[in-house]
Amino acid sequence: MLVDFRVKNFALIDELEINFAAGLNVLTGETGAGKSIIIGALDILLGARASTDLIRKGKESAYIEAAFEPERLEQINEYLEEAGIETDPDLLILSREIRQNGNNRNRINGQLVTASMIKGVSKYLVDIHGQHEHQRLLDSSSQLNLLDEFIGQEKEELLLRIKDLYQEQNKIEEELAALDIDEGEKARETDLLKYQIQEIQDAALKDNELEELEQDLKILTNLEEINAVVASMYKSIQGDDYSNIEGIMSQIVSFLKDLEDLKELDGELAGFYNILNDIYYQLEELSFSLNNYHGKLEFDPEKLERVEKRLSLITSLQRKYGQTIEEIRNYQEEMEKRLEFLLAQDKLLAELTKRKEKILEEYYYYARKLSELRKTRALELEEVIATELADLAMNNTIFKVVFTEKSPSIDGIDKVEFLIAPNPGEDLKPLGKIASGGELSRIMLALKTIIAHVDQVDTLIFDEVDTGVGGKVAQKMAEKLALIGKQRQVLCITHLPQIASMGDKHFFIEKRQEENRTYTRIYDLNNEERRAEIARMLGGVMLTDTTVRHAEEMLVMAEVKKREL
């Protein structure tokens, strides 16, 4: 339950601290005193959106803190420990700081956390039912949630399975959408890919082929010049028998003969001899190579045509698929993968469709089981609601939960609508069409009374849910709130003395003006102060002996009634 609550520099509140008790805690005060501001601060602490407008004028930040002693603290602590947050075996402390610069701070047990972590914890702690929250009774999805709250943990496993299957189905839908290609476009792309792949395959490209072809082309296109140069070199080395021209080698042979006898006379001459001898053998080897090379030189117009055609083909492929043979091959691999994907698409489409049908079948199995559970428990809800409404002076009211099937969703296939006939002889109609504000308040209170038995939230907060009721109905509402207080901690802002008198603890909220500033103050009332406040609620500003006696009587009767409850 909520034990301590502290607020600083929030709206009209400069600073206040409240120590709540178990049971029914009532908060009263004049209209505009700031009662709902206190609940608003708690709502923001628990994860509601915060605005810098809420920071008290002239202050840099607002601070909200609450200490809880939850029944499910062990489960909450397991969640916190997984997130690396220090825990306390007895207490849970949440705090939030709202800053003018927007750099807000959330803490659990003094440790900085995200807003989502605060929300993850707060769902176990507090359920706030605000002044206008009964309007959510008019919304079909909220009505389904209220029914599910009544069912409690029994539905959780089914809902979790339905959620998983629904999300898996959506994922398959996305995959199917990605496969949704126009058949004509698919056929055109397939034909193009096949043509391109075949074109590259037919080319039978080889490693280094481009460089070799370019070299062959250079030789073939310059063959005449090459032939003339090689022949001239050969003649110069070997000589020309036809022209009686002596070649270089013949001259070197002559030099060698001249040095043959002289080399013994001088070591330097021997060196010349050896150099010339080496040159002779090198020239001999060169002449053999030149002769062989010259022998292979032959103009081949067919080869030139083949080389030119091959280079033209490769150049064409380069323009289409890549600058190098490696890039062309890589492009071929990509096209083969794409073609494989397109050809396998029909098979994949069939497999995904089959999976979708299987998941949808399984989804409907669990969704119908959940629907059956909801319909069974809805009959119970109708009975207990009727009983609770009878206690709230709606004796002849008929309450009905009507089901219609909707498209698969994350919470199943049920669309729920609450119908009501407040008076005998009237047809059942949706709540929004016939229920008054007071009736909606009573229906919501009846639901909360019932759900309190199965709800695992420790603290229920009612912010002026007594709108539109009075007299006997007000007394009945007070008893219901006191009854809920026997099972859960209840915080209730009220204008009704009947509800205030049933409180286990009574807080008075007052708005004061001091030195041109407005302040909200809260007081924990003792018995005498309670009597005076209830007398004020009964008779207005002026207290009379009659209203004071009446207030005293209400407090005595309230204690008797609470013992009976």
CATH number at residue 2: 3.40.50.300
Is there a single domain that holds both residue 263 and residue 334? Answer: yes
- pLDDT score recorded for residue 300: 67
Structure letter (DSSP) for residue 426: P
Q: Over 80: is that where the pLDDT of 540 sits?
A: no
Chain centroid, CA 209 distance in Å: 54
Half-sphere exposure for 97 (CA within 13 Å, toward CB):
15
Cα dihedral sign for 526, 532, 535, 536? negative
| Both tokens assigned to 334 | 């990509």
- pLDDT score recorded for residue 245: 56
Structure letter (DSSP) for residue 152: G
Is there a single domain that holds both residue 87 and residue 190? Answer: no
266 domain-assigned = yes
- Min mean pLDDT across 100-109, 129-138, 156-165, 393-402 is at 129-138
Q: Give the H or E element holding residue 379.
A: helix 325-391
Is there a single domain that holds both residue 93 and residue 224? Answer: no
- pLDDT score recorded for residue 364: 96
Q: Over 60: is that where the pLDDT of 241 sits?
A: no
Q: Do the Cβ atoms of 460 and 484 come closer than 8 Å? A: yes
384 domain-assigned = no
Is there a single domain that holds both residue 108 and residue 229? Answer: no
Q: Do the Cβ atoms of 537 and 495 come closer than 8 Å? A: yes
Is there a single domain that holds both residue 86 and residue 209? Answer: no
Is there a single domain that holds both residue 197 and residue 106? Answer: no
- Burial class of 134 by CB neighbour count within 10 A (0 to 12, 13 to 18, 19+): buried
10 domain-assigned = yes
- Burial class of 76 by CB neighbour count within 10 A (0 to 12, 13 to 18, 19+): buried
Structure letter (DSSP) for residue 53: G
Final residue before a domain boundary, out of 311, 338, 365: 338
Is there a single domain that holds both residue 234 and residue 111? Answer: no
Task: Average the pLDDT over 152-179 and give the result.
Answer: 90
Average pLDDT score over the chain? 84
Tell which wins on pLDDT, 441 or 173: 173
469 domain-assigned = yes
Q: Do the Cβ atoms of 257 and 244 come closer than 8 Å? A: no
Domain encompassing residue 285: 186-338
Q: How many independent structural domains does the chain possess?
A: 2
75 domain-assigned = yes
Q: Assign residue 18 a region (left: φ > 0; alpha: ψ between -120 and 50; beta: otherwise).
A: beta
Q: Over 80: is that where the pLDDT of 435 sits?
A: no
- Burial class of 11 by CB neighbour count within 10 A (0 to 12, 13 to 18, 19+): buried
| Both tokens assigned to 154 | 């029994």
Is there a single domain that holds both residue 116 and residue 195? Answer: no
488-536 pLDDT tens trace: 899 999 989 999 999 999 999 988 887 778 888 899 999 999 999 999 9
| Both tokens assigned to 116 | 């989502």
Written as one string, the DSSP assignment of 494-545 is -S-HHHHHT-SEEEEEEEEEETTEEEEEEEE--HHHHHHHHHHHHH-SS--H
Pick from 162, 140, 472, 200: nearest CA to 334: 200
| Both tokens assigned to 138 | 């008019």
Is there a single domain that holds both residue 86 and residue 216? Answer: no
137-156 pLDDT tens trace: 677 788 898 898 888 888 98
Phi, psi of 254 (to 5 degrees): -65, -45
67 domain-assigned = yes
Q: Give the H or E element holding residue 403.
A: strand 398-409
Compute the distance between CA of residue 246 and CA of residue 4 in angstroms, rounded to an integer.
122
Q: Which span out of 182-191, 391-400, 415-424, 524-533 was modeled with the highest average pLDDT?
A: 524-533
Final residue before a domain boundary, out of 309, 338, 367: 338
Beta-carbon neighbour count of residue 225 at 10 Å?
9
Is there a single domain that holds both residue 90 and residue 197? Answer: no
Helix axes of 248-262 and 267-296: crossing angle, nearest 10 degrees = 160
Is there a single domain that holds both residue 203 and residue 334? Answer: yes
Q: Over 60: is that where the pLDDT of 273 sits?
A: yes
The separation between the first and the last C-alpha atoms of the chain, rounded to the nearest angstrom, is 21
282 domain-assigned = yes
- pLDDT score recorded for residue 33: 72
Structure letter (DSSP) for residue 565: -
With a CB cutoff of 8 Å and minimum separation 6, the contacts of 505 are: 20, 21, 23, 24, 25, 26, 524
Final residue before a domain boundary, out of 285, 310, 338: 338
Residue type for 422, please? P
Q: Do the Cβ atoms of 196 and 339 come closer than 8 Å? A: no
91-103 pLDDT tens trace: 999 999 999 988 8
Is there a single domain that holds both residue 197 and residue 289? Answer: yes
317 domain-assigned = yes
